[in-house]
Structure 1
Amino acid sequence: MAWLSLVLFLPWFVLLGTLYWLFPRQPRGPSRRLFDGVALVLAFALSILAMLWGHHLGGVQSDAGPIWRQVLAVLYAYGAFLAVMVAAILLRGPLLARCSTKAASKPAAGSP
């Protein structure tokens, strides 16, 4: 039953991940695709771990109701996914700009 929160939030994660992948449209080089792919896989993996952790914590609290496990699992999963996505958005610009300036400053293969 711990996986219910992931099943319910999977369409929303797909929508947010698609928007992250598609925008901004330019520049889109191999380094950006690699960075975005790693960020999306990391966000999904950490979301699963946070969901399992939240489900476990919800079951440990004896004074909480039975629905609390699912609520906590959803909150933790969504929070982890958004945390990774926000960090990736904030880091993507500076990191890829630095990579592109390094690539632009390298001399071409045939130039003296």
Structure 2
Amino acid sequence: MVLASWYLSNRSTLWRLDSTLPPPGDCLKIPSSKPVLSSLIQGMRYLSLLLLGPWIVVLACIYWVAFKRSRVTWLHAAYDMMVVIVALGAAYGLALVAYDEVVIQDVGQLGRESGSIWKQVMPALYGYGAFAAVMVLGMALRFAFWRRKRAGTRAL
């Protein structure tokens, strides 16, 4: 009861104190004056990589294990390691490029033509496509190079 009467008697003072508060958008700022929301949006760039990452690691391990018996010298192992590293780098790079290139449609008269989910789907598709292309090219070159080398040693 005492609190309610105090509030009613000091209502105008409280309203003036309330008007000195910063606008609601300023509450999202961290001490370095960078908005928290923008750092969250920057983190969304890597969400597609997080979703794509486990599948790419599984495919890289399958590649590594599949050709385990055919690695007879350190050059074979170095070639396979290079293919996996280049494929991972290509997937990472193209996924980031795809995230920047996807344009979300404006809201039209009937709503959005496409949702913002494509900001995550397209980088995953580009990253997987780049990874698969490099791995297939690496396997094709591996078969072509090592088969030619084996055929040349048998002729001797």
- TM score, norm. by length of structure 2: 0.59
Task: Report the alpha carbon displacement of residue 2 of structure 1 after superposing the two structures with TM.
Answer: 1.1
Which AA in structure 1 matches 2:67? P
Which residue of structure 1 aligns with residue 65 of structure 2? 22
Trace 1:13-92 onto structure 2 (pairs within 5 A): 13-28=56-71, 29-58=73-102, 60-63=103-106, 64-92=114-142
Cα RMSD after superposing both structures: 1.9
CA distance in structure 2 between the aligned counterparts of 1:6 and 1:79, rounded to whole angstroms: 13
Q: Secondary structure at the match of 1:62?
A: coil
Which AA in structure 1 matches 2:52? F
Task: Report the alpha carbon displacement of residue 20 of structure 1 after superposing the two structures with TM.
Answer: 0.5
Task: Report the alpha carbon displacement of residue 85 of structure 1 after superposing the two structures with TM.
Answer: 0.7
Which residue of structure 1 aligns with residue 4 of structure 2? none
CA distance in structure 2 between the aligned counterparts of 1:2 and 1:100, rounded to whole angstroms: 45
Which residue of structure 2 aligns with residue 95 of structure 1? 145
Task: Report the alpha carbon displacement of residue 99 of structure 1 after superposing the two structures with TM.
Answer: 4.8
CA distance in structure 1 between the aligned counterparts of 2:67 and 2:97, rounded to whole angstroms: 33
Aligned residues: 103
CA distance in structure 2 between the aligned counterparts of 1:30 and 1:36, rounded to whole angstroms: 10
CA distance in structure 2 between the aligned counterparts of 1:48 and 1:27, rounded to whole angstroms: 28
Task: Report the alpha carbon displacement of residue 101 of structure 1 after superposing the two structures with TM.
Answer: 6.5
Which AA in structure 2 matches 1:76? Y
CA distance in structure 2 between the aligned counterparts of 1:61 and 1:8, rounded to whole angstroms: 20
Kindly indicate whether structure 1 or structure 2 has the higher relative contact order, using CA contacts under 8 Å at least 6 residues apart: 1
Which residue of structure 2 aligns with residue 108 of structure 1? none
- Residues 40 and 89 (structure 1), Cα distance of their counterparts in 2 relative to 1, 3 Å cut: same
Which residue of structure 1 aligns with residue 48 of structure 2? 5
Unaligned runs of 5+ in 1: 106-112
Decide whether the 8 Å contact of 1:31 with 1:96 is kept in 2.
no
